Amino acid sequence: MSKIAVIGSNMVDLITYIERMPAQGETLEAPRFAMGCGGKGANQAAAAALLGADVLMLSKVGDDGFADTTLANFQRLGIDSRFVERVPGVSSGVAPIFVQENSHNSILIVKGANAHLHPADIDRAEAQLRDCALIVLQLEIELASVYHAIEFARRHAIPVLLNPAPALAGLSNDHLALLDFLIPNESELALISGLQVNSAADAAHAARTLVAKGVRHVIVTLGEQGALYVGAEGEWQVPGVKVEARDTSGAGDAFIGCFARHWSRDADIRQAMQQAVAYSACSVTGLGTQSSYPDAETFARFLDASAR
């Protein structure tokens, strides 16, 4: 059984490529604009599906044209979207993204319909969720729904992965202790642990404090330095894959989706991390979020080229 359930957000990305951010009151001309499908939940579902996973998505869309775009994208990717429902009188989620020449990005999110994914929606999908090997969560939906999903997963003995993004302080220790996987980046880890994270050594120390609180496996994404594991199986770091980055938007979600796909199939954490580090690196060589994610065949070619 390797079906993955993603309970989380979807957005339509409004991507502007810029030379620099304007100062207050300043107007600048930007050289390029693109629109694509995004949102942390949908991105992670898309990455897993592109790599061949059987994915079930629970999410909410508005009653606007953006909803049509999102639903058509799920269908194109082969994602089971029977529980992606429209909310009357509410906009879909959108994410204006500003990408600078150095590939760094700044993002705003408007939750829109994503704020209407409630605990009752999770309960209504119980029969389908119980057939899943992993439940994947993020923090772009209401926190009460995230906590309910964690409790649901524990009650039904389903492994659960939380990507604590966007970063949020004050997460419940009781719910963190129910997690099988917690996968933050360095800034998210610092906020959750309350410790400074300025190096891989700092990250390892902060991760240990979360393992001590009950999290079974903490995986810290380190950007171009790869990823760090601290947990029940020991400690190790998977090095990064060197690439020429063009756009880092969605790279963290690419990591999560790839990791979920491989771990749900083989239950090998180190191997899943190695694949996820490479997949994330591959994604930053393209532009956009989901538009930069390779399918299984393209990713295999990237791995072959990287090994030479």
Cα–Cα dist 155/158, whole Å: 8
- Beta-carbon count within 10 A of 292 CB: 20
Catalytic residue among 63, 253, 268, 295: 253
Cα–Cα dist 248/225, whole Å: 14
Instruction: Mark whether 121 is an active-site residue.
Output: no
Cα–Cα dist 187/178, whole Å: 22
- The dihedral built from the CA positions of residue 259, 235, 232 and 210, taken in this order, carries a sign that is negative
∠ CA 11-16-20, rounded to 5°: 130
Q: Report, as residue numbers or ranges, the catalytic residues.
A: 253
